[in-house]
Amino acid sequence: MFMDKPFMVYAQALADSLLLHISKTAIIEELDRDPKLGRKMIAGLSMRLHHLITDVESYSLRSGRQRIIGYLLREYADEGDARITVTLPTNKGVIASRLNLTQEHFSRILHELSEKELIVVEGRRIHIPNVDMLRAYDH
Domains, the chain, in order of start with CATH, read: 63-136 (1.10.10.10)
φ/ψ of residue 2, rounded to 5: -85, -15
pLDDT at 79 over 70: no
Using a cut of 0.75, tell me whether the model's pTM lies above it: no
CA 139 to chain centroid: 21
Q: Are strands 120-122 and 125-128 parallel, antiparallel or unpaired?
A: antiparallel
Asked if 115 and 104 count as a contact pair (C-beta separation under 8 A), the reply is no
Cα separation of 92 and 107, whole Å?
8
Higher pLDDT, 100 or 58: 100
